[in-house]
Structure 1
Amino acid sequence: MQFYAKSQDALALKSDVLVVGLFEGGSLSETAAAADKACQGELSKIIEREKFKANAGASLLLHHNLGQSATRLLLLGLGKQSSGKISAESFSSALQALANSIKSYRSATFALNGITVEEQSPQWQAQQLAQTLQTSLWRFDQLKSQKQPRPALSKVTLCTDKASLSTIKKGLSEGQALAEGINYARELGNLPGNICTPTYLARQAKSLSRNRPELSVKVLSEKQMKEMGMGAFLSVSAGSDEPGQMIVMEYKGAAKSTAPYALVGKGITFDTGGISLKPGAGMDEMKFDMCGAASVFGTMKTLLQLKPKINVVAVVAAAENMPSGGATKPGDIVTTMSGQTVEILNTDAEGRLVLCDALSYVQKYKPKTIVDIATLTGACVIALGSHAHGLYSNDQALADSLLAAGVRSGDRAWQMPLWDEYQKQLDSNFADIANIGGREAGSVTAACFLSRFTKEAKWAHLDIAGTAWKSGSAKGATGRPVAMLVNYLLNPA
């Protein structure tokens, strides 16, 4: 899909459909008002006759010639105005509905003139438009013998005033790059475990770096991890015929002396639970247990498009968690890269085991901050549902930055407690720490476990177990929290 920004009169541009905004309560956007004037008020009469309320996401398609050069006119409800502005939520709802309304047309024109979103710039509006259209119209059908028909929409023109033209172009570019990253994360998440293995992810990283001098990749083998003392990671991959992979991607957009930001993704490409075997119902969805890693891949893909002047080191801890004669057993004790010993009381609490060694490893880069992303606990799903990521951090400034990035991107998180009082639930009679802390506050104690390996770093943990994928008829990876991560990296303060 191609996006264009023009400082021309939207009514004069030819396309299959011109989209004009209306506000709840009868107010017209600047372009809608111009169209109404051009047709001597005929548009207002139609709106009144059809009782179009213009609530956010409502639409009405008109085949009338009402002064526009486009073949059709689509009225798009933008919701209520407050002091001449609409909420970001209303704008996002309108864009989601817009994607479905115009997907069958080859070209569309949309005018931003006179549409103001609370606490957001025209650049943000353009970015959201491009991102929403591309993610909404994306399809995952490469494994089907019969492909779905592709949406026809291939050209979108956004009209604005001349003063805003350069920022609108920048917003469209950012939105396209974000959409590519989000869709890439969704693709990786949707692939089944017999295709998307740890080795497959390692190949994907190397493919990303091809002809990209700003991105370097190295993959640590199990032999190398053993030499480094990563006993926790290796305890997870021990039961699988697929070798575990520690994938390291370094994006270099700033001087070598500039400390990098670090991302660490949980990449359990399939999670049976190991010896602590999961119930069979719904186990197919455990291919999504690598969605933390997928979000890291999607973020790196977006950074390669945008080329920001920062350094980022991304570590993906990729493994399968399988039961076998060589699998780790409940009660086994392993030694982590940090030297701390862990009693593994439940082999289904494996994400924290691969992550703790990855977190220890990434600290050798002396990063400014570390953010790990993981589908870590069902407890987080119970606590927050599917709307917000669970956020834990040992640094409030970092937590605030991530929370703000979530609000700006519409990919929100909620901060959870990381209090010392919870740490005692991880006490073990036989090792330094147990890998589970009982039924109470399961998401909190999982974060407490990780905090034992990040004491010297500014660190945050995102539990995305409730947000990384959808079940039911809409089953599939969401690509979250790529938008939040990119927003944070571009605006870390």
Structure 2
Amino acid sequence: MKLEVRRGDLVAQRAGAWVVGVLEAGGPLGGAARAVDRATRGALAALLDSGDFTGRWLELALLHPGHPRTRRVIVVGLGSRAALTPHRVRLAMAAATRRARELGAGTVATVAHGASAGGLDPIVALTATVEGARLGHERLTAFKTEPGPKPLVRITIFERWKPISARQRRAVARGDAIASGTCLARDLANTPGDALPPDALARRARVARDLAGASVQVLGVPQMTRLGMG
């Protein structure tokens, strides 16, 4: 699945799903949420007015707006502005990404959540959004009878006002690398020992080392004995 940042207005993009975050505030919609509400002729405001969605952290709602550029709008709660952190953004984007994959959306268009109305630093918000997208998308399917929903093809994070800077591109690359490393560690930890014996685990670690330019130390029985490892 490709992750990228591009200049553009979210509601001008064709995608299998738009993902928009909403704060739990009760006030006027701001930022991307306001733009999505206008593009969907008030569907987001109507959802909030109904009380079926409040913006509570990790709350999800699905709209089918009949819009020519998207079939779905996935709305995710960001919680209160005072409590909003990069970690909360990360988990909110992960939840929305999982839902998009379950729905077979194919492609997702979104924004850096928390960067405007949420008050977070734009680069921090962008990094957290990227991390959440990767973490929410990846899953270990090798040992499942049914692989589950198809992977998404692409998630694009749109910046409306300014040209994309080198700093933003570095934030995307950094966030994707951190999250991909986390996914690798999860996969290795969750793989049964009979499917990943020590020599195979060492090979996987060396491959990851070569790709990331990192360092790896593989211990044999004598070294582990000296360290008192069980």
Bin of the TM-score, shorter chain as denominator length: 0.7 to 0.9
Q: Does 1:136 align with 2:136?
A: yes
Cα distance change, pair 301–138 in 1 and its aligned pair in 2 (3 A): farther
For 1:316, what is the secondary structure of its paired residue?
coil
- Report the CA distance shift for 1:196/1:46 in structure 2 as closer, same or farther (over 3 A): closer
Q: Which residue does the alignment assign to 2:78?
A: 78
Q: Say which structure, 1 or 2, has more relative contact order (CA 8 Å, 6+ apart).
A: 2
Determine the structure 2 residue equivalent to 1:157: 156
The verdict on how the C-alpha distance between 1:317 and 1:122 changes in structure 2, with shifts beyond 3 A counting, is farther
Cα deviation for residue 11 of structure 1 reads 0.6
Aligned partners of 2:193 and 2:92: how far apart in 1? 36
1:65-144 paired onto structure 2 within 5 Å: 65=66, 69-82=69-82, 86-103=84-101, 104=103, 105-112=105-112, 114-116=116-118, 118=120, 121-144=121-144
- Taking a change above 3 Å as real, the CA distance of residues 182 and 93 of structure 1, as seen in their structure-2 partners, is closer
CA distance in 2, matches of 1:187, 1:88: 24
Q: CA deviation at 1:30?
A: 0.6
- Mark the runs of 5 or more structure 1 residues left unpaired by the alignment: 209-296, 305-311, 320-335, 338-348, 355-375, 377-493
Structure 2 contact 64–73 (Cα < 8 Å) conserved: yes
- Deviations 1:113-159 (CA, angstroms, capped at 9, x unpaired): 625454xx433333333333333332323245x34124342211101
Question: Deviations along 1:15-47, whole A, 9 cap, x unmatched?
Answer: 111112211022423111123345564532332
Conservation of the 8 A alpha-carbon contact between 2:78 and 2:92 = yes
CA positional deviation for 1:2 = 0.9
- Percent identity, please: 21
Higher strand share: 1
Aligned partners of 2:97, 2:40: CA distance in 1, in Å? 27
Q: Is the 8 A contact 1:88 1:117 kept in 2?
A: no
Pairing of 1:190-269 with structure 2 (within 5 A): 190-206=190-206, 208=207
CA separation of 1:159 and 1:178: change in aligned 2, threshold 3 A: same
Q: Match of 1:11?
A: 11
Give every structure 1 segment of 4 or more consecutive aligned residues whose post-TM-superposition deviation is greater than 6 Å: none
Report the alpha carbon displacement of residue 185 of structure 1 after superposing the two structures with TM.
2.1
2:109/2:158 contact within 8 Å kept = yes
Instruction: Give 3-state SS (helix, strand or coil) of 1:171's partner.
Output: helix
- Rounded Cα–Cα distance in structure 2 between residues aligned with 1:42 and 1:314: 52
Q: For 1:151-190, what aligned pairs fall within 5 Å after superposition?
A: 151-160=150-159, 161-163=161-163, 165-190=165-190
2:38 and 2:187 map into 1 onto residues whose CA distance is 46
Segments of 5+ residues of structure 2 without an aligned counterpart are none
Cα gap change, 1:19 to 1:195, in 2 (>3 Å): closer
Q: Which has the larger radius of gyration?
A: 1
CA offsets 1:201-227 (integer angstroms, 9 cap, x no match): 343355x2xxxxxxxxxxxxxxxxxxx
Partner of 2:50: 49
Q: Distance in 2 between matches of 1:351 and 1:196?
A: 24
Q: Distance in 2 between the 1:136 and 1:90 partners?
A: 13
For 2:154, the aligned partner's letter is: K
C-alpha separation between the residues in 2 aligned to 1:41 and 1:204?
A: 50
Does residue 32 of the first structure (1) align with residue 30 of the second (2)?
Answer: no
Distance 1:158 1:179 in 2: 16
TM-score, normalising length from structure 1? 0.40
- Counterparts in 2 of 1:32 and 1:317: CA distance versus 1, 3 Å: same
From the superposition, tell whether residues 170 and 117 of structure 1 become closer, same or farther in structure 2 (CA, over 3 Å): farther
